[in-house]
Structure 1
């Protein structure tokens, strides 16, 4: 979940996904790696090759030839930008409603973020970002937010018109589809997160998916200190195959690979259940005048329940009513756009000021601020769903939706 949660007296259910389904299989997989004493992915006394196995299965899930496991979702975004060949100072267009990791990744790749409006899908407005393209623009980063895809086809069309790279941030949408295609494998590269709240989790971790062999090669090298182990030849580290360049240590551990391989088995049925739950709730409330977030692809979504209220005050009242009933709910990112973060607004990086303060995006402020997302949990019972329906109905009947 990416919502701000008020503290209710008691939650009726946990808004957890992959973590809620942890069981003996995850424990056994982690223990096997521990007992092998081979926690490093490239060698050990009894190497299990768990990261390599996870990468192969993750790539297959996304119908792509390449996947690289890394240490976090932010690392995945950074590696993907490096893999695509971002030049120093290259601009990356980022939606205004997203996690700060998107900005941090652009900065880590020595790029410059440029902030674009969202629409009522809460993702990048396909009609609004083209005017931001300049001769310095390198890529656009659509973010698939809270288990729903951004509207990729028109975004891809604009990118193709200007010769731009497309990096999908699928951190919050592992397993989600867009018009029959898995998100994260539609653009030039896709980045995923396996942090604690995500659809599958190892506590931390990330992955890059791509169809481009050159992008894959650069990602593999960069996450491994420029290829210290991936290009080893005999006893020599950082071999000479290909053009050498320096990198970072953003490697995934064998324990993470083992746990994620188990979690991957749970992903598709979990998302189907969450999607069915969201549809049931909306159908049960069809008689009410509720404005739901626009989903560019309802069939491919991973289960989202986000309302758009009249204004910020109405959203706050609605959240208060739901949390009082033990229903996890909140406004996405507390209603604050990513460039309203003080450091982002000031362009203040670890090595100095990198850009001037961006202007306000009032349309995006208004949309995000009046959003209310209800957390869905992987272990919700039918009684929990019924309670959720009655809680939403009571909040609406109590006047929480109005002025």
Structure 2
């Protein structure tokens, strides 16, 4: 165990910066008694305003606010017209919600390896394409954008739809462009530990007007939700269809809107913290996670050790020193989930057991992620560097 001075800091991002703005926004909606986005005694139209503001942040023409990140992924694929049974390639390192969304859209997930960025390996993506492949879902993991240049090149060459899972990457960019606007559709989550949060919530970002129309209608009962005044959702240019209820509330939108001005500066600050830590430990033989676009990341400190045993030892030592650290997804790819492994869905077994993703397993199992918090002070960062240096040296020498 490290004998460095103990430190304590929280790894919350948006939540760490909550204050009077969120309280005022929530109270405004509560006092209006109009929590539903379409009507009420004193409707404030906060969901409409959030959608417009999020378009500005992501650089897209259209945003549809929904109830969760998984709902956003599902609605995005429905909006893009996924056929029943179509295959969608998903990286093996992701949250199970990526797979859940494919299943909810009646698609079939196909799993591909990640590379040392812990995001989708463009070379293995191409190997997994078959005549049944309809789309690909690159995941921007832990505030690092996937390597979208080669991914998009492969996808366009094979005529695949690209659905960006940006649940963990609001405010992150790639090649100077915000994630969520690089493929055919993007999906964001606003769950509690995300870059902006209302505890739950999500958003779909698209540029194509017809796709937007389908997404907007699907998450709103197919566009056939009729208010007491007879209003409906959708342009009316396309035949109606039965959809789902995945709507965002006015309260959620108001709380999220209060945080949007802080999003990009917060990501910049966390990116600078990560750079400082890497820079001040540059004399050590650390193998850091590769960042496809370091300038656009939102702050990630992930390194690879020589073995799973060494990674577990470093996590334990860092935690003992007061540094929040973990191995993402407990070192297991999403295919380790029993339901995913066995292809079990609510309507039966839909796919055969996927092959082992040995590269992904090896990389993930040997990884250690150090959590960074939006409220970290310069003193916290200095203490982190000292404690991390000692733990890393102690563990790697001992092993």
Q: What SS does the aligned partner of 2:352 have?
A: coil
Q: What SS does the aligned partner of 2:395 have?
A: coil
| 1:4 corresponds to | none
Post-superposition shift, 1:402?
6.9
Aligned pair partner of 1:308 in 284, 300, 304: 304
Post-superposition shift, 1:223?
0.4
| 2:328 corresponds to | 332
| 1:113 corresponds to | 109
| 2:25 corresponds to | 29
| 1:5 corresponds to | none
Structure 1 position 235 matched with structure 2 position 230: yes
Extract structure 1 runs of 4+ deviating beyond 3 A.
231-234, 236-241, 400-403
Partner Cα distance (2:233, 2:255) in 1 = 29
Post-superposition shift, 1:44?
1.1
1:315–1:401 Cα contact (<8 Å) kept: no
1:309–1:401 Cα contact (<8 Å) kept: no
Counterparts in 2 of 1:401 and 1:50: CA distance versus 1, 3 Å: farther
Counterparts in 2 of 1:402 and 1:61: CA distance versus 1, 3 Å: farther
TM-score, length basis structure 1: 0.95
Supply the RMSD in Å over aligned alpha carbons: 1.6
Post-superposition shift, 1:391?
1.4
Partner Cα distance (2:232, 2:176) in 1 = 42
Q: What SS does the aligned partner of 2:59 have?
A: coil
| 2:169 corresponds to | 173
Partner Cα distance (1:394, 1:235) in 2 = 66
For 1:1-400, list aligned pairs within 5 A: 12-229=8-225, 235=230, 237=232, 240-400=236-396
Post-superposition shift, 1:311?
1.2
Gaps of 5+ in 1: 1-8
1:221–1:227 Cα contact (<8 Å) kept: yes
Partner Cα distance (1:161, 1:333) in 2 = 32
Name the structure with the higher helix share. Answer: 2
2:89–2:135 Cα contact (<8 Å) kept: yes
Q: What CA deviation, in whole Å up to 9, does each residue of 1:343-402 have, x standing for no partner? A: 100101111111111010111100010010000000001111111101110112203477
Partner Cα distance (1:371, 1:295) in 2 = 14
Q: What SS does the aligned partner of 1:120 have?
A: coil
Post-superposition shift, 1:228?
2.6
Post-superposition shift, 1:127?
1.0
